[in-house]
């Protein structure tokens, strides 16, 4: 990453203008050409410096539901249980974490009711309790990291 890459990553986290030629407008602010900005964004994606470029949708405002769930999985069953949990299409992310509750995953579905069903199905398939930790309040959400 050179200095211009950093300016692009930092400058474009906040918002691309909604316009017919958004890259041209953003490029003008960054002092580069539209073609160079597009080429750099493609390279930053290819190199996986950026994981995505585009609209960030809010599943809940689209009428969907989400929860964060946690399980305490015995070490000797970890891979088996990860396979069961990951097998649900509704499981969007799943992380191993350093804690007795060592498996943390996000469940998303079109309807709230489906979330409860998925958690119950995971409990039935694994024989392990699942903690349901839906967000009750959101204080700030702005995933901006300085490059």
Q: CA 131, 117, 112: angle at the middle one, nearest 5? A: 85
Give residues 16-45 in contact with other proteins (rule: CB under 8 A).
Answer: 16, 18-24, 34, 38, 41-42, 44-45
Q: Which of residues 62-91 bind other proteins (CB under 8 A)?
A: 62-64, 66, 68, 70, 72, 82, 85-86, 88-91
Task: Give the residue, chosen from 28, 29, 77, 93, that forms a contact with other proteins under the rule CB under 8 A.
Answer: 93
**Of 56, 60, 73, 67, the residue nearest 91 (C-alpha):** 67
The reply on whether position 15 binds other proteins by CB under 8 A is yes
Among 4, 7, 30, 59, binds other proteins (CB under 8 A): 59
> Considering the complex, what minimum distance in angstroms separates the CB of residue 11 from other proteins?
8
Among the listed residues 48, 43, 46, 55, the one whose alpha carbon sits nearest the alpha carbon of residue 12: 55
């Amino acid at each position: 990453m050179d200095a211009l890459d950093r300016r692009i990553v930092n400058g474009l986290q906040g918002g691309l203008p909604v316009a017919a030629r958004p890259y041209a407008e953003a490029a003008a602010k960054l002092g580069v050409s539209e073609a160079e900005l597009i080429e750099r964004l493609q390279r930053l994606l290819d190199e996986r410096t950026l994981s995505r470029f585009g609209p960030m949708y809010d599943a809940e405002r689209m009428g969907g539901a989400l929860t964060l769930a946690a399980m305490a999985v015995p070490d000797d069953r970890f891979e088996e249980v990860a396979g069961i949990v990951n097998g649900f299409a509704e499981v969007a992310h799943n992380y191993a974490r350093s804690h007795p509750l060592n498996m943390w995953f996000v469940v998303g579905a079109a309807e709230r009711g489906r979330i409860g069903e998925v958690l119950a199905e995971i409990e039935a398939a694994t024989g392990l309790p699942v903690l349901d930790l839906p967000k009750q309040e959101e204080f700030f959400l702005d995933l901006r990291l300085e490059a």
